[in-house]
Chains A and B, each alone.
Chain A
Amino acid sequence: MPRYRVKFSKDGPARYSSHLDMVRFFDRSTRRAGIPVAFSEGFNPHPKFSFAAPLPVGVAGLEEYMDMELKEYLEPAEIARRLEVNLPEGYTILDIKEVADHAPALMSRVSRAAYRATATLPAGYSEVELKAAIDGLMDKQEITVIREVKGKRKEVDIRPGIFRLAGGVKGHILEINMELLIGSTGNVRPEEVLLKLSRDGGVPVDPEDFRIRRTALYAEGDAGLVSLWEV
């Protein structure tokens, strides 16, 4: 069955819906659009969609990916044309292409995510202080966070999963850019890094007060990182 890769963005009110809600959106949008999505067999058939990595509720995604299988072939441009007019507010289709039937699942290839977090610059806080806080965090050998897994509290070291952390001030906006581990080998959530910067690094902004966007998703290629679009 023909398989397609869809690059899309999710922002505005849509960023407040959960991953599960988004799967339901796509199911309904494709049905409205008359796109013949393939369904799994069994008692509880579900549409053959596969996503790269769930977006946390509240985080916008500027370049997100999903693969979908159809029952019959349609030109990618035709899928895009039908889908665009049937998506709720906040979703945009950026690109669609056909991929090989046996291409590896997005979920198994995604390994790194880039995030940009912005907040209003607190009065009296400077870029120098922000950079010091970031350096202080990155200099650590180990950064432990507490996660709740199945009701149990567990300590996790997120330092190996922080590949890049940088920050700066643009006018009245404080901006932090991160590249973090994502996928089958583990996850670092952007809020975890922001919480460390605020609690341990003295950045005077609550993690909730940052507006977070996921700007890119990557996989390991033969010659370094590649965009998931290229996988």
Chain B
Amino acid sequence: MNKLEKILARVEKPGRYVGGEWNAVKKDWDQVAVKMAFAFPDVYEVGMSHLGLQILYHVVNKRKDALMERVFAPWVDMEEQLRKEKLLLFSLESQRPLADFDILGFTLQYEMSFSNILNMMDLAGLPVRSAHRDNTMPLVIAGGPCAFNPEPLADFIDLFVIGEGEEVIHELIDAYKEMKQRGANRREMLLKFAQTIPGIYVPSLYEVKYNNDNTVASVTPMKEGVPGRIGKRVVRDFDNVDFPTNPIVPSMGVVHDRAMVEVLRGCTRGCRFCQAGVLYRPVREKKPETLIRQVEEMISSTGHDEISLTSLSTADYTGVAPLVKNLLDIYGERGVNVSLPSLRLDAFSIDLAKEVQKVRKSGLTFAPEAGTQRLRDVINKNVTEQNLVDAVSSAFKNGWSSVKLYFMIGLPTETYEDLDGIADMAKKVVQIGRECGVPRGRLKVTVSTSSFVPKSHTAFQWEPQNTLQELRDKQKYLKEKLRDKSITYNWHDPETSFLEAVFAKGDRRLGAVLESAWTKGARFDGWSEHFDYGLWMEAFAEEKIDPRWYAYRRISYDEVLPWDHIEAGVSKRFLIREHKKAMAGQPTVDCRSGRCPGCGLCPTLEIKPTILGGAEIAPIQGEV
């Protein structure tokens, strides 16, 4: 029995660490020029539910000259065993230590996974700081939504990939291979990548200067040819882009255990709090025939019994109704279900849900986000109370008895009247349920509130977050207001949201805090059972950094933001205009309507939205 077997006998869910799943790729190590490890800084069950992992795994392993293996954050019991037995963190496929790879790539999905990134490097035997790693060690790269404000991780990550990864990763591997053959060292490589590959950000090549009031004065490249601003990468031909129709089938129950087909990328709605809505612009729809072919390939290669039509807003897909009907006709007989991850608040969505949940009515989820029309106009969530009334009436009449409603609290300009609005809406839904004849015992309305976290690259990036006390008061108020046998109220831990805001809007100086918190034992901060707020506050105190300054300060438009040099394609001018319109309670058009709101993305990236059969949108050029 080897050391690994010994420790696997001592941890819960050892299946997390052994690989061997269907469609996993194990290559001959010595026959491959460039070896990459995809590192997901959370447990297997979370990481294996992530479509981005499957896409990059497929794209890299398709190449003859490269391989990609996986590694997930070991759960605390596994970490204890690894440290006790002095085993280095290893990849699932070949069970090799991560230090053997050329490139170690982290995905940044969530700020609260940052401590796990440091921990995984440490478990791999690598110094956590970029400056302390030498030429014998892998390049540590990172991408994903949180790479759009990479600054809090600047001390630890050698290189960030900004934007969509499936094309730029080839350029990176090609360049790496060429430089490795020439015997280049990591400094030379990083400089070359930064100079020649669009969308690559090497933080060590930039100098950050601060003003006396602690705000950022400037971020400037220190070497010639290194871009001052880094624009995001975006896939132009989304219909033809490589997509994994042979994804790995997890060997144990994971969060999303189904075949995921990406119906469209991006979202046109323009909710002002939403970062994804900006990062994944412009909207690009796949052709229905492409989707049908991909689903067929996927079902026969995986054996999954459920197809999920994923995207930020699947109900917005131009041909969604015929697509769903078509898939149900083909797969219903074969015992394969179709699922839609999110629904719009309208009767059309209920018709869709009716199609896909013919037998089992498992419950419907809607996200009005705010309780009053005034506040919904502020955030540009273009749904009305009438939409909600229509949608839930239709749902109750069609046999559903439980409805979930998602709201955000602490949104800019929110007052207690808006909270009353949340309670009123919930009660109204209960009343509609009763009127529609749902039996008292079965009628269930669940209200969930998350706390608003201002994010970079959004119209609300200048806005302060509510304080912990304000959020707690609001939660308490709602708890009182929502006292009803048919209503269940769930809320988020405000401390987590606070820390999320600090890192979402943080700068390079937070690196020291992150390292200190990790040294004190911060791990799995997104898991309430492991999140230790006190420990983080100690770390801030020791580094003499006030987290409130990052989360609670109203930022002025002319301030240099720590992430201003990372460009998502939407102009800052547009975001300022959106912010002003928000304060005035004015909505902005959806570009799906055919009218261009003038976000500046299309002319900047020289791209256009792909909306099937939709009106041609003529993007506004130049100044808006």
Contact = CB atoms under 8 A, between A and B. Distances in A.
B287 interface: no
8 contacts: A12-B20, A13-B18, A13-B19, A14-B20, A58-B14, A88-B20, A88-B21, A120-B1
A119 B19 contact: no
Given A13-B251, A21-B251, A58-B8, A32 B1 contact: no
Contacts of B622: none
B interface, over-half SS = loop
B560 to A, nearest CB: 51
A32 B6 CA distance: 34
Interface string A84-121: 00101110000000000000000000000000000110
Interface string A11-44: 0111011101100110111111100000100011
A28 B335 contact: no
A18 B15 CA distance: 8
B27 interface: no
B184 interface: no
Given A27-B303, A211-B5, 15 more contacts: A13-B15, A13-B18, A13-B20, A16-B18, A17-B251, A21-B15, A27-B305, A31-B304, A45-B335, A88-B251, A89-B24, A120-B1, A208-B6, A209-B6, A211-B1
Contacts of A18: 15, 252
A128 interface: no
Contacts of A13: 15, 18-20, 251
Contact of A43 (B252, B299, B360): B360
B22 interface: yes
A225 interface: no
Given A21-B253, A88-B251, A208 B9 contact: yes
Contacts of B299: 31
A185 to B, nearest CB: 28
Name which of B18, B303, B359 has the most chain A CB atoms within 10 A of its CB.
B303
Contacts of A45: 335
Contacts, number: 81
Contacts of B9: 58, 208-209
Contacts of A86: 303
Contacts of A12: 20
Contacts of A14: 20, 251
A57 interface: yes
Nearest to A22: B251
B50 interface: no
Interface in B1-52: 1, 5-6, 8-10, 14-15, 17-22, 24
Contacts of B335: 31, 39, 45
Contact of A31 (B6, B14, B19, B303): B303
Contacts of A27: 303, 305
B253 to A, nearest CB: 7
A27 B335 CA distance: 11
Nearest to A59: B9
A48 B297 CA distance: 25
A98 B579 CA distance: 70
Interface in B239-253: 249, 251-253
Contacts of B450: none
A17 B252 contact: yes
A119 B5 CA distance: 11
Given A16-B18, A17-B252, A21-B251, A209 B305 contact: no
B302 interface: yes
Nearest to A30: B303
B359 A43 contact: yes
Instruction: Kindly state the interface size class of chain B when it binds its partner.
Output: 20 to 34
Contacts of B302: 28, 32
A152 B305 CA distance: 37
A28 B252 contact: no
- 5 tightest A-B CB contacts, nearest first: A13-B20, A28-B303, A31-B303, A89-B20, A32-B303
Interface string B286-316: 0000000000000111111100000000000
A21 B252 contact: yes
A28 to B, nearest CB: 3
Contact of A44 (B22, B257, B334, B360): B360
Nearest to A37: B335
Nearest to B299: A31
A86 B303 CA distance: 10
Interface string A54-92: 000110000000000000000000000000001011100
Interface string A135-157: 00000000000000000000000
Interface string A198-211: 00000000001111
Contacts of A119: 1
Nearest to B334: A31
Given A43-B360, A88-B22, A211-B5, A24 B14 contact: no
Contacts of A20: 253
B1 A209 contact: yes
B251 A28 contact: no
Contacts of A89: 20-21, 24
Nearest to B12: A57
Given A39-B335, A58-B8, A16 B14 contact: yes
Nearest to B257: A24
A69 to B, nearest CB: 14
A58 B253 CA distance: 17
Contact of A29 (B17, B19, B300, B303): B303
B303 A57 contact: no
A17 B15 contact: yes
B252 A32 contact: no
A119 B251 CA distance: 27
A11 to B, nearest CB: 11
A197 B524 CA distance: 38
Contact of A32 (B20, B253, B257, B301): B301
Nearest to A39: B335
A133 to B, nearest CB: 20
Nearest to A14: B20
A20 B13 CA distance: 12
Contacts of A58: 8-9, 14
Contacts of A30: 303
Contacts of A120: 1
A129 to B, nearest CB: 20
A170 to B, nearest CB: 15
A61 to B, nearest CB: 15
Nearest to B249: A28
Contacts of B24: 89
Nearest to A88: B22
Contacts of A21: 15, 251-253
Interface in A156-193: none
Contacts of A88: 20-22, 249, 251
Interface string B436-462: 000000000000000000000000000
Nearest to B360: A43
A16 B15 contact: yes
A193 to B, nearest CB: 16
Given A16-B14, A20-B253, A21-B253, A28 B304 contact: yes
A45 B334 CA distance: 12
Interface-centre pick from A16, A17, A89 (highest chain B CB count, 10 A): A16
Nearest to B304: A28
Contacts of B15: 13, 16-18, 21, 57
Contacts of A17: 15, 251-252
